[in-house]
Structure 1
Amino acid sequence: MKFLLFVTFFISTLSFSQQDSLFLAKIERIQSKVLNEERILNVYVPEGYHPDSAKTYPVIYVLDGSSNEDFIHMTGIVQFLVMSQQMTPSIVVGIANVDRKRDFTYPTTIEKDKQDFPTTGHSEEFIRFLETECIPFVQTYYKTNDHRTLTGQSLGGLLASEILLKKTALFNKYLIVSPSFWWNNQSLLNQFKEKSNRYKELGTKVFIAVGKEHPMMVKDTKTFAKYLSYQLDETKRNFMEFKKEDHATILHAAAFEGLKWLEKEK
């Protein structure tokens, strides 16, 4: 309920300031050569943002960022945390989906999954879109600095974990919620067993969360947190289990706590 109040207050504040219209975000359209399709970005800028100012802002990239998915909810939480001085003013970029099963999964060897989800297995292309088209676009047209956060839940959490493993430096901070490590018999999860110093060297911070969900998802997420504990100390890695939240409700609670924790300097 409290998160609904956050968003309600956020919308009310915008309505009051603009009276006759509600302006939440600018819709940007990118013709992606990598994906061979048009992609939509929903972009929120914080209060006081001005394109001619020398001030720059961190960017929070939201997977499942369509207007009818997680973009409005995440933006409301960010705005509230900024308003309550628990977070630095930030730009929020919601990456709208076209086919999340296609974009958020790597190829699987499981024949049934290939049959049930025939478009899957193209995360490599989507990651290349993020790296070579999406992020450069935002950096070109908005007042950004070098601080970037990636947020993802479920299959989005799987993709965020894949980026953490394979393209770590693409983001400084990761908010990974209920990742779908079951994909391809936990093959991505198993790759985190290998100890690496690259996260520490890059100063990467990772917040991991899971709720009262499928037992496999809970177990895999805890295993993921354990593997990262071998590579990052508690100032750079945090795990929270939200036992009162299920798969449908955990995102708000996890984002609220996770974004606050990721903001901490130590």
Structure 2
Amino acid sequence: MKSTAKTVLHIFLLMAFTFRTAAQTESKPLTIGSTEQFKSAILAETRTINVYLPEGFNPADTITYPLICIPDGGIEEDFIHITGIVRFNTQPWINRFPKSIVIGIENTNRKRDFTFAVPNLNFLENVGYKKESIPFYGGSPKYILFLEKELLPYIKSKYKATRQRTIIGESLAGLLTTEILLKNPDLFDTYIIISPSLWWGDEKLLKDGGSLLKTNLKKRVRVCVSAPNQEEDKMMYREATSLYDLIKQNPHITSFFDYLPEEWHATVMHMAVYNAFKLLYPKTGY
């Protein structure tokens, strides 16, 4: 009996010591980046910018990194999961593409910022929207200027980003990304365009796309267009394929198309980005 009691006492003391040790274990926040408040004179507002820096980043060294830009880049938007894809693909045992800086721009009014000016909103009724659902629009020229003149130079200077740049946009952000490709293609080298809302402006970007590329595109770029299940929205699928048909004819564009029939407009973003990186960088061990 004494032996049993002694054993029980030892077990109790061991458990108490374990619990006490666990309680004394230090913890610290798990972080994947930083958040900055960027005052834009062009937009006349302060924007929240989320920044992921690659493992081993040291502001004192001379190493530079490619840049990946996410217009829908808030913490509650696409910054965290896309950053996870980037970090995964740049791990040394995968090494699909170089370690990269990721910047996410948190939205304040994406309908305003990601759409270009139109003479009227009559086309909205044809695509199932009410005019009242988009009270502010036409701000994309200012937003693109903000990228070109303010944000991208700032990131390049502060974080030593290279001129190699990728932009990722889905839905209205896909509309914006398409507009940049057609009108300001020198801003980025790689365009990942997912389920773009090309119905805006009665498909004006598709109608003018050929002539815009002929006028503006002077360098080689890479473009991946992705579309979810066509039965969900036949119009958006048709527009995505029309965009691909347009760009694949241009000799300056290396183009890819990715159809994801098991994804919907609301779910396509993550898998489309993952697949796009595989299409753009088909080999590991970069």
- Per the normalisation by structure 1, the TM-score is 0.87
CA distance in 2, matches of 1:119, 1:75: 30
- Amino acid paired to 1:207: C
TM-fit CA distance, 1:248: 1.2
Q: Do 1:87 and 1:260's aligned partners in 2 also have CA atoms closer than 8 Å?
A: no
Alignment match, 2:65: 57
Q: Mean Cα displacement is larger for which, 134-143 or 105-114? A: 105-114
Gaps of 5+ in 1: 1-17
Alignment match, 2:109: 99
Q: Select 2:176's aligned residue among 154, 159, 162.
A: 159
Alignment match, 1:150: 167
CA distance in 1, matches of 2:44, 2:215: 36
- Amino acid paired to 1:69: E
Q: Name the % identity.
A: 37
TM-fit CA distance, 1:116: 3.3
Match runs of 1:153-192 below 5 Å = 153-192=170-209
| 2:89 is aligned with 1:81 | yes
Q: Select 1:36's aligned residue among 36, 44, 47.
A: 44
Alignment match, 1:108: 118
Larger radius of gyration, structure 1 or 2?
2
CA distance in 1, matches of 2:264, 2:27: 37
Q: 1:103 to 1:198 in 2, by over 3 A?
A: closer
Q: Select 1:229's aligned residue among 248, 269, 286.
A: 248
TM-fit CA distance, 1:110: 3.5
Alignment match, 2:238: 219
| 2:231 is aligned with 1:208 | no
Deviations 1:148-177 (A, max 9, x none): 001000000000000001100000110000
TM-fit CA distance, 1:78: 0.5
CA distance in 2, matches of 1:33, 1:136: 14
TM-fit CA distance, 1:64: 0.6
- Per the normalisation by structure 2, the TM-score is 0.82
CA distance in 2, matches of 1:93, 1:163: 17
Deviations 1:23-56 (A, max 9, x none): 1111111111001100111000111111111110
TM-fit CA distance, 1:19: 5.0
Gaps of 5+ in 2: 1-25, 125-130
Q: Do 1:88 and 1:263's aligned partners in 2 also have CA atoms closer than 8 Å?
A: no
- Amino acid paired to 1:134: L
Q: Do 1:81 and 1:260's aligned partners in 2 also have CA atoms closer than 8 Å?
A: no
The number of aligned residues is: 246
Where 1:192 maps in the other structure, the secondary structure is: helix
CA distance in 2, matches of 1:55, 1:159: 31
